[in-house]
Amino acid sequence: MSPGKKGKILIVEDEKKIADITRVYLERDGFGVAHAEDGETAIKLLKDKFDLIILDLMLPDIQGEDLCTMIRKDSEVPIIVLTAKSAEEERVKGLGLGADDYVVKPFSPRELVARVNAHLRRTKKASFSLSFNGGDLKIDVQKHEVRKKGEPLTLTPTEFKILLTLSERPEAVMTRYQLVNLVLGYDFEGYERTIDAHVKNLRQKIEDNSREPAFIKTVYGLGYKFIGRGDED
C-alpha cells in the first residue's frame, strides 16, 4: 500500500475493475489504499486502522450489511456504501445499518473521491447528519432517518436520496438531469420527469403545505433547490 499522506482507505469490493479504478483515483488524490476482495479479507485487514471504508454491499462471502454493522460496532470510522440501484438500496433503509453515505452504482469516480474528501473533512463530527431551521428538519444518514419537528417520517429510498442530494448543497440549483444521475444512477435511461413525481411525494411528506414548499423550491426551467439554514450539530 502506498503511504497516503491524506489518509488510509479500505476498499471492500469484489469487482476488480471497480476496485482498481477507485484505487487509481484515490491514490492520485493522495490517499493510501488497501483493497479486500471479500469479507474475510476485509476483516483481516481491519486490524489496521483506516480513516475511511468504502464498502460494496454485494460481496461473495458475506452480506455487506453484516460487515457494515460489524465494523460500526467497533469503531466510528466513516463508511461509504456502494449499492447497485435495485433492491439493495431498500435494505440500506430497512436495516439502518450505520453507513455514513451511499453512492449508487455505476458512479463517477470523481464523485466518489469528492465524497471521501467531504467525509474526512467533517471527521470530527460524530456522525453525518444534517439539521435545518432550528431542528425543524433533521436528516440522519447513518440511521437513514428524517425527522420533521421531531416526528419521524417514512421516506422511500429514492425520496431520501433526493432530499440528501439537494440538502447537501443548500440553495444550489440541481437540474433534473443531475438528480437523475446522482440519485438513480448514470445508467438510468428513463424519463427525466420521474424526478418530479418523487419530488411531489417528498414534498407531501416534508412540507407543511406542499403547494408552497418551504424546503424544496422549484426553479422554473431548471430544476429544484433546497432552502434551509443549516444548524450547528
Q: Which stretches of the chain bind DNA, using CB under 7 A?
A: 86-87, 90, 154, 156-159, 184, 188, 190-191, 193-194, 196-200, 203-204, 210-211, 218-223
Collect all residues with Cβ–Cβ distance below 8 Å to 197 and sequence separation of at least 6.
none
| Residue 39 or 198 with smaller CB distance to a second copy | 198
Q: Is 203 in the site for a second copy (CB under 8 A)?
A: no
What is d(CA 39, CA 10) in angstroms, rounded to the nearest whole number?
A: 12
Determine if 20 is a binding residue for a second copy (CB under 8 A): yes
Dist. CA 153–CA 155, nearest whole Å: 6
DSSP annotation of 136 reads T
Tell me how far apart the alpha carbons of residues 197 and 194 are, in angstroms, rounded to a whole number: 5
Length of the chain: 233
Q: Which residues in 146-165 contact a second copy (CB under 8 A)?
A: 156-157
Q: How far is the CB of 47 from DNA (least distance, A)?
A: 33
Do 143 and 96 meet the contact criterion of CB atoms below 8 Å apart?
A: yes
CB of 109 to DNA, least distance (A): 17
- Alpha carbon of 159 to those of 33, 50, 122, 202: distances in Å? 33, 31, 24, 6
76 touching a second copy, by CB under 8 A: no
- Does residue 117 belong to the site contacting a second copy (CB under 8 A)? yes
Grid look-up 471521501 returns 116
Residues that bind a second copy (CB under 8 A): 17, 20-21, 24-25, 88, 91-92, 95-96, 100-102, 106, 108-111, 114-115, 117-119, 121-122, 127, 142-145, 156-157, 169, 171-173, 177-178, 181, 186-187, 189, 219-222, 225
